[in-house]
Amino acid sequence: MAQMYDRVALIGLGLIASSMFWAIKRAGLAGEVTGYARSAATRQTARDIGLCDRICDTAIQAVEGADLVVLCVPVGVMGAVAEEIAGALKPGATVTDVGSVKRDVIEQVAPHLPGDVHFIPGHPLAGTEHSGPTSGFAELFDNRWCLLVPVEGADRGAVAQLRAFWEGLGSNVEEMDPDHHDLVLAVTSHAPHLIAYTMVGVADDLRRVTDSEVIKYSAAGFRDFTRIAASDPTMWRDVFLTNKEATLEILGRFTEELFALQRAIRTGDGDHLHAYFTRTRAIRRGIIEAGQDTDAPDFGRGKRKP
């Protein structure tokens, strides 16, 4: 793969940024990759494991001269970081992000950026329940979607270059409108995460069943929920606070539907339950056929760092 940017700056060094670094190196997509994290301990860890070609002690140093700046911080602090680096951005540079919410990030970041910088928000649909600079691996984005959400009037050349960069990281790329993005993600990711968090919390609260029993006899359903509910608390707090409307809308629909199923259980309406469960089974088949998951042992989560 050809080099796409002379210098890439990764701001925030968690799972996504560290995976991006290893994937950039795998494909030779950048001349130099600089990195910055707010915490001195994270910067030290990054230096220790060879994460980034150069770790900087300030965000400003990291973005100086960069052709591509990737904001990999929690959604709640995107605006503050943009404000901090705005004055140091190279004219003609592209700024992107990897946040799970797009409308709010655009409103936070866009006002701070100079007019000679291309702002092209993005969202790679990839992750694990692990976080931090040591959790990354080069294969994270392979065959996963990356959604680009260019603001109106975005430079098409810059968008095409960023698309090629994400394809070089292994992703399939599509463009989407920010509000539609936020609704789709509320359905496929944000609401399911909140629901999983809730169920795991309920299990922990129940007096008559001990935690150790819950843990010991954790059958398939609950085990998957705990995996989801182990995701980074700060990231997810920010997702819910910044994609409030769409998440609450989906949760409202969810509650309505759950009440209907509860009523079917209470009244013994087996036909209703059976028909519902048959329909959901078909949806799963669609997902496997669409290639977003596999029938194989790792359930499509892909390779992980050894």
Q: Say how far apart CA 185 and CA 180 lie, in whole Å.
A: 8
Shortest CB 20 distance to a second copy, Å: 18
Q: Say how far apart CA 66 and CA 167 lie, in whole Å.
A: 20
Shortest CB 59 distance to a second copy, Å: 23
Packing angle of the helix pair 244-267, 191-205 (nearest 10 deg): 60
Q: Say how far apart CA 200 and CA 52 lie, in whole Å.
A: 36
Shortest CB 203 distance to a second copy, Å: 5
Shortest CB 234 distance to a second copy, Å: 7
Q: Say how far apart CA 77 and CA 37 lie, in whole Å.
A: 13
Choice between 111 and 233, CB closer to a second copy: 233
Shortest CB 251 distance to a second copy, Å: 6
Q: Say how far apart CA 56 and CA 65 lie, in whole Å.
A: 13
Query: How distant, in Å, are the alpha carbons of 2, 72, 168, 294 from that of 25?
Result: 11, 18, 10, 27
Choice between 110 and 195, CB closer to a second copy: 195
